[in-house]
Amino acid sequence: MKIPQSVQIIGAILALSAIAYRLANATQTTRTTPQQSQSGTQPTYFVEHPDHIQPGLAFHGRWATVANPYAGNKQRIDEGAKLFISYNCMDCHGADGSGAMGPSLQDNRWHFGGTDGDVFQSIYEGRPDGMPSWGGRIADDQIWRLVAYVQTLSTGHSVSTENFTGKTIARSGH
Ligand code: HEC
């Protein structure tokens, strides 16, 4: 059967426009994809993470009742003393926690509390004025060894040091 010429032409036009449509779409896709991945061309979304930006004190009480499994254990305390040196706690807190850029751990004054849980939290979560957070970087049972050791340092006597905001309080040596 012979197809009339006019139908053939219409068919050809339809086929061509279908191809043209595909091509247009294809070039659009290839044009937009790299643009989207370029930095700075994306709209900026602000994602709130209220859970992550709470100051440490907001969690006060969560740890407070936790007891140190190594409290009073001499071997663990000795290991804690070694960790205190290996993890450079000493660089900020001074030899035997006598105080340096970081506060003294000997003076029996605790800015953030001196219970097992408080001291654990200080080390685990860090404190806002320059105390790094060690949680997840070192094992929890090492933190407990450090807690046990740090607590033995508070001998009750007052040691002059720089306070935790970095302002110098008269230093009389230790
Ligand atoms: C980069 C210096 C730095 C290092 C390293 C560091 N600290 Fe601290 N630490 C500080 C500062 C500064 C503070 C006080 C933070 C504040 O007042 O907000 C502090 C606070 C503390 C507190 C709370 C004291 C209080 O009065 O309640 C404890 C406990 C403590 N550090 C133990 C440690 C231990 C254990 C290590 C080692 C694992 C360590 N720190 C390593 C600087 C440091």
The tens digit of pLDDT for each residue in 64-78 reads 678 999 988 999 999
pLDDT at residue 34, rounded to an integer: 44
Half-sphere exposure of 146 (CA within 13 A, CB side): 27
Domain 56-153 homologous superfamily, CATH: Cytochrome c-like domain (1.10.760.10)
What residue segments make up the domains of the chain, in order of their start?
1-37, 56-153
Mean pLDDT (the chain, rounded): 75
CB 119 within 8 A of CB 125: no
122 lines ligand 1 (CB under 6 A): yes
Query: How many whole angstroms separate alpha carbon 40 and alpha carbon 76?
Result: 52
Token pair of 22 as six digits: 């595909």
pLDDT at residue 65, rounded to an integer: 73
SS3 content of the chain, % helix, strand, coil (to 5): 45, 5, 50
C-alpha of residue 50 to centroid of ligand 1, in Å: 24
Q: Is the whole-model pTM more than 0.85?
A: no
pLDDT tens for 150-165 read 999 986 555 555 555 5
Please give the single-letter amino acid code of residue 25: N
88 lines ligand 1 (CB under 6 A): yes
